[in-house]
Each structure stands twice: as structure tokens, then as C-alpha cells.
Chain A
Amino acid sequence: MQTSGKIPVPPNRQSENSRWTACITRIRDSSDEAAFAELFEHFAPRIKGYLMKSGAGATLAEECAQDVMATLWQKAHLFDPSRASAATWIFTIARNRRIDALRKSRRPEPEEVYWGPQESPDQADILAMEEAAVELTRAIAALPAKQKTLIEAAYFNDLSHSEIADQTGLPLGTIKSRIRLALDRLRHAMK
């Protein structure tokens, strides 16, 4: 599907985003099980879908999705909504779990994340981060299908660029330039 211009984002997207942030805060502050259930309902099936696309069988994917959600509960106090949206933070947990489960290898993290969030993140920063997340979702939806497919393959299928080339039959140069185009578009949309 070739699309151009802006695709309308459901008006509840941004409020959806702040709802997830609020849920994580409720887990952090009062071990709120209802908040956990709400996050689970939305994210667990998406994490399972992501892991299955990466090559995990349904059983392993289900097990890992549960584990990712348990990690979310455990690390709720380390979430910094001024630095990442809830979906982004959950993605990084799911990605690390995938590397651990499917590749049996470690994932070194940069120094900063050892420190945890700042005492009280600035409200304006949190809002800016949420707006950026909404913009990005819109920009990804608006990507030409060919670019979107390759970006998804790079993130979801655990493939290097040359493996994507093997699978799609596209020359490596084409893949690199399409991904670059997609990133340029995303960057442009975020400005």
C-alpha cells in the first residue's frame, strides 16, 4: 500500500500513552494489580507476537512474554517516562529477553542505565516524549510499504542486513538505501 501525507492517528493515542505511563507508576508506587492487568492485556500479546516473528515457538514466546511482564513489575521504579515512552521501554525489555532466550548471549548495556531515573523527571519532558512517540507511530504508518517491510524485518526478524538480502533476494545495496530512506523520512517527520 503506497501512502503519502499524514495518516490520522486515533485521537486517543496520546492519552493511551499516558495511560500506560500512569499504570507503570501505579505499579511502582502501590504494586497495583489492576494496572498490571491493564498493561498485560495490551502488551503481552504484542510481545508474544514480536517473539514469534523473531523465530520463537508459541510456547517459548508465551513464556518469555510472561517473563517480560514480570520484569516490568519488578523494574517499574527504573522506568523514566522523560527518556522513553512506555512502549519503547517495554520493547527494550522484550528485546533483551529475546537475545537471552533465542541467542543465549548477554546484552551489555551502556553505563547510564545503571543509574536509574532522575529523582523526578520534568513534566514537560514527559509530554515531549509522548508527543514524539505519537509522531513516530504516525510516521511509521505513513512509510511506503517497501521501506516499512525492511524496517520491520530489521527489528523483528533478528536478521542482519545481509541475511535480509538472502531472504528477500534484494541486493544488499538496495536494502541499505531503502532503510536509509525510511530513517530519513522518520527523522524528517520527527522535526
Chain B
Amino acid sequence: MTDNIRHHLTDGLLMAYSAGSLPEAFNLTVAAHLSMCDSCRARLGAFDSVGGALLNGGERAEMSAGSMEAALAAARQRPRPAAAPRPRGTLPAPLIDYIGGNLDAVRWRPVGMGVRQAILPTDGDATARLLHIPAGAAVPDHGHRGTELTLVLQGAFADSTSRFAKGDIEIAGEDLNHTPIAETGDDCICLAATDAPLRFRGWIPRIAQPFLKI
């Protein structure tokens, strides 16, 4: 879809997505990037093939008598799903699913300094949120206790490591402290997933943190 994406998923993330060991919020972020990025999707195909080969060559556990007939009976009851129509809008389809619509359906909440967020419903192991950062504004300086994935959906931001534009994904670990700043021009909209609370340097965001679930 976009061939000017410069920041991609790592092998580790693609393998974990293929194996199915990521928390839901990370799965969502990975799926959204894959929806925008042909090259990562091709790499995912290779990781899925590893899973297929391992399954095919893996150990067997005998099924009980009559299980085939039971499965067939269950199968015959099920309707064949039509391929779902492609959801319309600017956002990747998996996100539209979680929001229940496009950007205009997002219920934003202010988190200070003009930045707004919307937390998406996922299981508790990690948190997914949409961030709306006005052009030129900054997310407060922070570090990470775990991993933070940030996928740009609109506009662009930059931090001390690089510039991230639409489709790019930033993978921040415990060793990174940064102050992402949205470029002038379009407001920046990102999907961010974290598996541990961020570590804010300034005291104001630190006090606000428990309320904002950042």
C-alpha cells in the first residue's frame, strides 16, 4: 500500500505475532502496520510458514473415537462466511474494527498540553491508545519500563532517534527516553501500545498518570 515506509517491524515482533504470543494491544498495532506495509506482510508469510512446517512435523496426540464425525457434524451446521467487504475510510481495517468506525467515531479525551487520547478495548496485558498530537506539540519527555510500539496513522513526529511518518512504526524499549514532537502541518495521529506504564520525567504528568492510564 505504502512503499515509503522506512521504519518496520522487527523479526522478533513478526515471529511473536505469527506464533501468537503477543498481548492483544501489540497484535492490534502489528496488524495495523501489516495492513499498510507489503514488505512486512511478505516477511510475516515466511514466519507463518515456519509455524506450518513445525505443526506438520510436530508430535501427534491421538484423537478420540468419533471425533471426526463430531467435527463434521459441527462443520455442516456452520454457514460459510462471505469475505467481509473492505471497510471504507482512511484507517487500517483492524483499527476500524476496534474503534467501531473511522476517526470521526473516536471518543477523544484531553490529556493536557493539547494532546488527546482514546484507549481502545484490549485484554489487560498491554494497553492500546490512539494519540492525537496537535501539529507542533510534544508528548512529555518519558522513558519506558517495557516496550512501546507507536504507529503513525496521520501526520508525522520526530524524536531524538528519527522522523516517523505515516505507516512508520517506532519500537521503543527500556533504553530510550524521548520527547516525540509532532511536525508542523497536519496534526499527528498515532496508535501506541505499551506493555508497562511509561516513566515520566516531569512531575505534572507523573501525578496525572494514574488517572490517564498512560
Contact = CB atoms under 8 A, between A and B. Distances in A.
A127 to B, nearest CB: 15
A8 interface: no
Contacts of B63: 40, 44-45, 48, 62, 65-66
A169 B23 CA distance: 23
Interface stretch (B42-50, B152-160, B201-209): B42-50
A87 B55 contact: yes
Contact of B71 (A40, A96, A110, A111): A40
Contact of B53 (A62, A76, A140, A179): A140
Interface in B82-136: 83-87, 92-94, 97-98, 122-123, 125
Contacts of B48: 84, 88, 91-92
B173 to A, nearest CB: 12
A7 B41 CA distance: 30
A155 B98 CA distance: 26
Given A66-B74, A103-B123, A83 B54 contact: no
Q: For chain B, what secondary structure do more than half of its interface residues adopt (helix, strand, loop), or is it mixed?
A: helix
A94 B55 contact: yes
A96 B41 contact: no
A33 interface: yes
Interface in B19-57: 19-21, 23-24, 27-28, 31-32, 34-35, 41, 44-46, 48-57
A83 B52 CA distance: 13
Contact count band on B: 35 or more
Nearest to B55: A91
Interface stretch (B8-16, B163-171, B180-188): B8-16
Nearest to B29: A108
Nearest to A54: B20
24 contacts: A36-B75, A46-B58, A48-B63, A53-B59, A61-B61, A62-B67, A65-B63, A74-B78, A74-B81, A87-B55, A90-B55, A91-B52, A94-B55, A95-B51, A105-B125, A106-B123, A108-B97, A110-B94, A133-B53, A137-B57, A140-B50, A151-B50, A152-B54, A176-B12
Given A71-B75, A105-B125, 10 more contacts: A46-B55, A49-B59, A87-B56, A88-B48, A106-B24, A109-B31, A156-B54, A158-B20, A158-B21, A161-B16
Interface of A: 33, 36-37, 40-41, 43-50, 52-53, 58, 61-62, 65-67, 69-78, 83-85, 87-92, 94-96, 98-99, 103-112, 114-116, 132-133, 136-137, 140-141, 151-152, 154-156, 158-161, 176, 179-180, 183, 186-187, 190
